[in-house]
Amino acid sequence: TDSYVHLAWHYLSGAGTDANYDLARYWYEQAARAGDVESMFVVAQMLEKETTPNDETAEKALIWYEKAAAAGHIDSQYIVGVAHLAEGDIQSLDSAEYWLTRASEQDSTEAQLVLGKAYKTGAIGRVDPGGAKKWLKSAAQSGNTEAQYEFAKTMQESTDAVSQKKAYIWLSSAASKGH
C-alpha cells in the first residue's frame, strides 16, 4: 500500500508529474481498500470536498470515515461522532456518544469539548453533569479556551467557595487567551 499512497501523493501534489486529482483519489482509494487507515481518512475528505447537499458522495464519505474510525483513526472517530450527533435520533445519539467517547479517550480535545457540551446540554439524549465536567475539564486542561470557558461555567453552577475559585481561575485563563 505504500506505493499506492506515495503515487497518490504525487498525483495530488503534481510532484514529478502533472497534478491529477482523479488519479490521486483512485490511488488513495486503492490504498484504503487495502487497509491503509490514513488513506481511508483522505478518501473521505476528498469525497466530502466534492459533496453537495443530498449528494450520495456525502454517504460515501461517511462510510470511509466510519471505516477509518473503526480502525482507530481519532479524527475520523470525532467526525463520525459529530455527524451522528447532528442526526439526532436515538440510535444516532448512541453512536455519537460511542465515537465521541472513543476519540475523547484518545485525547481528542475537539471530541472532549463536543462530548462535554453534549452531556451538559442533553444534546446526547440525556443530561450527564459528571460526564460534562469530566470531558470539559480534560479539554480545558489541554488549553482549549472554549473548553476552559465552558468548564468554568459548570463550576459556577456550584455554590461552594472551592468551585467558585476554580471557575474564576478557568475564566481568567480563557480571557487571557482572548475568549
Encode pLDDT of 110-156 as tens digits.
999 999 999 999 999 999 999 999 999 999 999 999 999 999 999 99
Residue 135 · residue 112 · CB < 8 Å = yes
Q: Is the pLDDT of residue 13 over 80?
A: yes
H-helix or E-strand containing 116? helix 109-121
User: Between the CA atoms of 52, 53, 58 and 59, what dihedral angle is there, to the nearest 10 degrees?
Assistant: -140
Q: What is the pLDDT of residue 24?
A: 97
Mean predicted confidence (pLDDT) in 24-34: 97
Task: With a cut of 80, say whether residue 67 has pLDDT above it.
Answer: yes
Does the pLDDT value for residue 43 go beyond 80?
A: yes
Least confident span in 25-34, 48-57, 115-124: 48-57
Position 171 pLDDT exceeds 80: yes
The C-alpha atoms of residue 178 and residue 19 are separated, in whole angstroms, by 41
pLDDT of residue 56: 86
Q: Look up cell 487497509; give the residue.
A: 35
CA 53 to chain centroid? 21
At residue 55 the predicted structure's pLDDT band, cuts being 50, 70 and 90, is confident
> At a CB cut-off of 8 Å and minimum separation 6, what does 20 contact?
11
Q: What is the mean pLDDT of residues 85-100?
A: 94
Q: How many CB atoms lie within 10 A of CB 48?
A: 16
Average pLDDT, the chain: 95
Residue 10 near residue 3 (C-beta atoms within 8 A): no
| Confidence at 159, pLDDT banded by 50, 70, 90 | confident
- Tally of residues, the chain: 179
In angstroms, how far apart are the furthest CA atoms of the chain?
65
